[in-house]
Amino acid sequence: MPRTSDARDRIVLTAARLFLERSYHDVGVEELCAAADVRKGSFYHYFSSKAELANAVIDMHMQVFQTRLTPEPGATPAQMLSAIPDAIGAIQADLHAHFGRFVGCPFGNIAAELSTTDETVRIHLAARLAALEGQLARVCRKAADDGTLREGVDPDRLAHALFAHYQGLILLAKLHCSDAAALTPALHDFVGSHLAP
């Protein structure tokens, strides 16, 4: 038997995989427990509800995004800005390789499925994504300050627009089963259209 201390991690990892492979609603707690090799009682020891598990899955993915989107020390604002499409593209390339297709953004999928049906998850995810957008906005502000951005581009609006653009691209890529290589260039196109000539 695996150690009990591993059980929570196993539930979160299994849920993260199954939610991406199919969807939040398509995977029941019973199936999840079987796939994670934990008893149902054990599940409810760690999570009061499936929604609480969704929040834990969000936090797990958020650690990856925050880490990969942290600028390299010593990078110029232009380099930091250009690193954002590369980092997001790399996260999605990993997911594409793992699942053999685009499965969407872990955050976007849950936002689409649960924003109108579960207020606790909506509030949790909205706060996490606002923080991530804040991280992008700090880079965009540095790029505005040193003249990397085209005149008149508001850095905070750009951070939101960039994150939105990623969400829309990956949603359509999931729908159209697009090629893994298409995402990063499209994100670079978006950033490029906001740079000073």
* CB closer to a second copy, 64 vs 126: 126
Under 8 Å between Cβ of 85 and 188:
yes
Specify the residue, 75 or 172, whose C-beta has the smaller distance to a second copy. 172
Count the neighbouring beta carbons within 10 Å of the beta carbon of residue 185. 12
Strands, E, within the chain: which ranges? none
* Segment near a second copy (CB under 8 A); pick from 42-50, 59-67, 82-90, 155-163: 155-163
**Which two structure tokens, joined as six digits, stand for 80?**
């930091």
d(CA 191, CA 178): 21
1-4 contact pairs (CB < 8 A, 24+): 2/37, 4/42
Considering Cα of 27, then 61, then 126, then 87, what sign does the dihedral take? negative
Q: Is 98 in the site for a second copy (CB under 8 A)?
A: no
Stretch that binds a second copy, among 29-37, 76-84, 86-94, 166-174 (CB under 8 A): 166-174
Told to check if 190 binds a second copy by CB under 8 A, we report yes
Counting contacts by CB under 8 A, is residue 117 touching a second copy? yes
Question: Which of 5, 48, 63, 193 is in the footprint of a second copy by CB under 8 A?
Answer: 193
- Closest by CA to 85, choosing from 69, 97, 70, is 69
Handedness of CA 147, 128, 57, 42 (dihedral sign): positive
Interface pick for a second copy out of 112, 132, 141, 180 (rule CB under 8 A): 112
- Rounded CA-CA distance 60/194 in Å is 31
CB nearer a second copy, residue 142 or residue 165 = 165
Residue 80 makes contact with a second copy by CB under 8 A: no
131, 164, 181, 196: residue in contact with a second copy (rule CB under 8 A): 164
One residue of 22, 39, 40, 98 binding a second copy per CB under 8 A: 22
Type of residue found at 104: G
Binding site for a second copy (CB under 8 A): 20-23, 25-26, 101, 103-104, 108-109, 111-117, 122, 125-126, 129-130, 150, 153, 157, 160-161, 163-169, 171-172, 174-177, 186, 189-190, 193-194
